[in-house]
Amino acid sequence: MHIGSIRVAALIMASTIIGLLLAANTAGAQSAGDTFPRLPAAEVQGKQIGWTVNATLDAFVRAVETVKPLVIVFGDVNSGFTRKLTELVLPCPHLNQLAGVAVFAYGAPATDEYARRMASRFKLQTYPTISVIASRTDTLTELYRMEGLFDAERIAGDLQQTLRQNGYWPKDLAAPTALPRHPLAYAGKACNREGAARLGIDVREANPEPRDRR
């Protein structure tokens, strides 16, 4: 089948499955106040995640096309934890080492219609929430979620474990290399628990534990 035909088919399937599953959730006008353009869009394998921002349907279609899971951050511009996540955690190398093994997206339910529908489907109540969604079109399946603000090392470890457990980690891809733990290695970022603590962020008590959704 021609590549263009595959993309059209994937788009139709993805749009259909989300629409069928979530058609009942139609209430609520959307505001235009949530933007995080600082997240980089260009992907560099193993070095920099390329984020799709407030285009959740496009990200889901790409996940289906590439047979990769969708890792989506649901957030809100009015959430202080969301801002800290995007500014202090997502830029860390611990997460960016996972570039290429999944499709990464940021979706604001207040702005992005498909993010809103997904959030409604999964009954999300906490921002930020990181969800791992399977690349399948017969049903919308959340494999794992983390609710609240965590350091990058913790998030990356949980994501890697989830991808391995669900068969999404490439068999020929080695585990990410160990990163420095010196206190000055990630100045001003919450890349690990120690870094978060220096910024006054208590990732142990301020947030609920992640819930396995398999």
Tens-binned pLDDT, residue by residue, of the chain (214 aa)? 555 555 555 565 565 555 545 444 443 333 444 545 478 999 999 999 999 999 999 999 999 999 999 999 999 988 889 999 999 999 999 999 999 999 999 999 999 999 999 999 999 988 999 999 999 888 899 999 999 999 999 999 999 999 999 999 988 888 888 898 887 889 899 999 999 999 988 775 444 434 444 3
Report the percentage of the chain scoring pLDDT > 90: 58
pTM of the model: 0.82
CATH of the domain at 149: 3.40.30.10
Spatial separation of the C-alpha atoms in residues 176 and 96, rounded to whole Å: 10
Spatial separation of the C-alpha atoms in residues 194 and 153, rounded to whole Å: 10
Answer whether residue 24 is part of any domain: no
Q: Taken in order 34, 140, 60, 82, is the CA torsion positive or negative?
A: positive
Answer whether residue 207 is part of any domain: yes
Answer whether residue 50 is part of any domain: yes
104 pairs with which residues across the strands? Answer: 51, 71
52 pairs with which residues across the strands? Answer: 105
**Contact at 8 Å (CB) between 206 and 150?**
no
Answer whether residue 112 is part of any domain: yes
Answer whether residue 26 is part of any domain: no
Spatial separation of the C-alpha atoms in residues 99 and 57, rounded to whole Å: 20
Answer whether residue 204 is part of any domain: yes
How many domains are contained in the chain?
1
Please tell me the predicted confidence (pLDDT) of residue 39.
87
Side chain identity, residue 71? V
Residue 42 structural domain: 3-19+33-212
Please tell me the predicted confidence (pLDDT) of residue 2.
52
The pLDDT tens digits of the residues spanning 164-212 come to 999 999 888 888 888 988 878 898 999 999 999 999 887 754 444 344 4
Indicate the pairing of strand 211-212 with strand 142-147: antiparallel
Residue in 52, 153, 149 with CA at minimum distance from that of residue 103 = 52
Answer whether residue 28 is part of any domain: no
Please tell me the predicted confidence (pLDDT) of residue 210.
42
Residue in 118, 101, 100, 96 with CA at minimum distance from that of residue 109 = 118
Answer whether residue 154 is part of any domain: yes
